[in-house]
Amino acid sequence: MFPEHRPRRLRRTETLRRMVRETSVSVSDLIYPIFIKEGRSIKEPISSMPSQFRYSPDMLSDHIKYISSLGIPAVLLFGIPKKKDPVGSQAHRKDGVVQQAIKRIKDINPDLIVITDVCLCEYTDHGHCGILDDKGEVQNDDTLDILSHIALSHAKAGSDMIAPSDMMDGRVGIIRDALDDSSFENIPIMSYTAKYASSFYGPFRDAAGSTPKYGDRKGYQMDPPNIREAILEAGFDIEEGADIIMVKPALPYLDVIRVLADEFEVPLCAYQVSGEYAMIKAAAASGWADEDSCVMETMTSIKRSGADMIITYFAPQVAGLLS
Ligand code: PBG
């Protein structure tokens, strides 16, 4: 016998399920990361990230048109320079690889929002996100100046939004001041606020050639067991002028997304990183999981946990599935 006071759940048809659904994923939630490699005529597959490529700026046309046709509103650019040095000087060159790519993309589709990653690790020969002292320690304060030069050079090239991912303390405020002083008050900052020292960045470092030559990033990226620290970091970033905050990676840190969504009023972005992408791709390639439905489930989970937007290498696939 059915318990007397237990209400029955609705027997759900697909139509009813849709009516009572609490979370939705839309193409306007998506940001697609692209790797740009300095040079000409390059379209190179990334072996640890099936279906993802490194493009030289001159090869972006078809790809950008395709992304635009899917209705994806924004891309996030990472640069891979020809030459690296200890201070990452290629990162703020006027005709650097990202600066060239921004202009190229704006020529192809001026309406596509171009977000640019600001960090040194792809540009330094040692692979760290800041400059080092003679003991090999990252110098937080000395790195800030270089970061603001990079941000400014991106803004001058036409970037719509600056995304610092280096995790140096104080970088949001320094970048905000540098942008404001050069009349870029309207360029927003999306800060990698809670960026954890994660093992899920492996394929990205392979793609960008940015694995540290020695040591790790634990000194400046966040420690995975910590969540109160994420709230502290978010408070600092917002005070310094961050317009959007971010949690990265996404799926192993859904609790962090939820806490920041509850605590703060600014828009919240989640980054489904390269290792999360590679994991689903590998399982699907082995026939162990259904790729499309796993991907959509992760999108739903990330939105349900409170993210307003998602950076994902699956963006074109998700856009296709939603249409
Ligand atoms: C640069 C940066 C990294 C990622 C985004 N920006 C690598 C890192 O911190 O080692 C990782 C993104 C991904 O794994 O998809 N600092």
pLDDT in tens, 262-287: 999 999 999 999 999 999 999 999 99
When pLDDT is averaged across residues 128-149 and rounded to a whole number, the result is 93
Tens digit of pLDDT for each residue in 73-85? 999 999 999 999 9
Say yes or no to pLDDT of 9 above 80: no
**What are the backbone dihedrals phi and psi of residue 114, each rounded to the nearest 5 degrees, phi first?**
-105, 115
Q: Measure the CA–CA gap between 323 and 316, rounded to whole angstroms.
A: 11
Per the CB < 8 A criterion, the answer to whether 285 and 36 are in contact is no
- For residue 195, the cross-strand partners are 248
The alpha helices in the chain, defined as continuous H runs, are: 14-19, 61-69, 97-108, 140-157, 171-181, 202-208, 228-240, 254-263, 274-285, 291-304, 315-322
pLDDT at 93 over 80: yes
Q: Which domain holds residue 215?
A: 23-322
pLDDT band at residue 121 using 50, 70 and 90 as cut-offs: very high
Report which ligand 1 atom has the smallest distance to the Cα of 211: 10
- Known catalytic membership, residue 248: yes
For 197-227, write each residue's pLDDT tens digit. Answer: 999 999 999 999 888 888 888 888 999 999 9
Which member of 37, 195, 281, 303 is catalytic? 195
Is 273 part of a structural domain of the chain? yes
Write down the pLDDT at residue 14. Answer: 86
Residue 303 CB less than 6 A away from ligand 1: no
Does some domain include residue 79?
yes
Q: Among 167, 171, 204, name the best residue to mutate to test ligand 1's pocket (greatest count of ligand atoms within 8 A of Cβ).
A: 204
Q: Is residue 4 part of a domain?
A: no
* CA atoms of 31 and 269, how far apart (whole Å): 9
Does a structural domain hold residue 17? Answer: no
- 204 Cα to the center of ligand 1, angstroms: 6
Is the pLDDT at 229 greater than 80? The verdict is yes
Ligand 1 atom closest to residue 202's alpha carbon, by position in its atom list = 14
| Smallest CA separation from ligand 1 atom 14, residue | 201
Residue 40 maps to a domain: yes
pLDDT at 10 over 80: no
Ligand 1 atom with the shortest distance to the CA of 221: 9
The residue written with tokens 């009349």 in the block is 183
Supply the pLDDT for residue 4: 83
Ligand 1 center to residue 226 CA distance, Å? 19
Look at residue 313 and tell me if it is in a domain.
Answer: yes
Q: What is the mean pLDDT of residues 89-109?
A: 97
In angstroms, rounded to a whole number, what is the distance separating the alpha carbons of residues 26 and 89?
Answer: 39
Return the number of other C-beta atoms located less than 10 Å from residue 40's C-beta: 9
- For residue 111, give the DSSP letter: T
How far does the centroid of ligand 1 lie from the alpha carbon of residue 247, in Å? 12
Establish if 248 belongs to a structural domain.
Answer: yes
> Is 94 a catalytic site residue?
no
pLDDT of residue 248: 98
314 Cβ below 6 A of ligand 1? no
Phi, psi of 302 (to 5 degrees): -65, -40
Q: Which residue from 119, 213, 281 has its CB within 8 A of the most atoms of ligand 1, so it is best to mutate?
A: 119
Task: Flag whether pLDDT at 18 surpasses 90.
Answer: no
Residue 1 lies in a domain: no
Residue 101 has pLDDT above 90, yes or no: yes
Is it the case that residue 8 has pLDDT exceeding 80?
no
Residue 254: strand, helix, or coil: helix
Average pLDDT of the segment spanning 233-253: 98
Candidates 167, 201, 216, 274: which one to mutate for ligand 1, based on the most atoms within 8 Å of Cβ? Answer: 201
Q: What is the pLDDT of residue 148?
A: 97
Q: What's the CATH number where 49 sits? A: 3.20.20.70
CB-ligand 1 contact for 165 (6 Å cutoff) = yes
Q: How many other C-beta atoms are found inside a 10 Å radius of the C-beta of residue 232?
A: 12
Number of domains in the chain: 1
**pLDDT tens, residue by residue, 22-77:** 999 999 999 999 999 999 999 999 999 999 999 999 999 999 999 999 999 999 99
Q: How far apart are CA 220 and CA 222, in angstroms?
A: 7
Indicate the SS3 state at residue 278: helix
Closest-lying ligand 1 atom to the alpha carbon of residue 203: 14
Residue having the nearest C-alpha atom to atom 12 of ligand 1: 273
What size, in residues, is the chain?
Answer: 323
Give strand pairing partners of 129.
Answer: none
Which residue has tokens 């304060």? 141
Average pLDDT over every residue of 284-300: 98
pTM of structure:
0.96
User: Both tokens of residue 6?
Assistant: 């237990």
pLDDT, tens digit, 9 for 90 and up, residues 153-212: 999 999 999 999 999 999 999 999 999 999 999 999 999 999 999 999 999 999 998 888
The residue assigned the tokens 């318990």 is 3
Average pLDDT over the chain reads 96
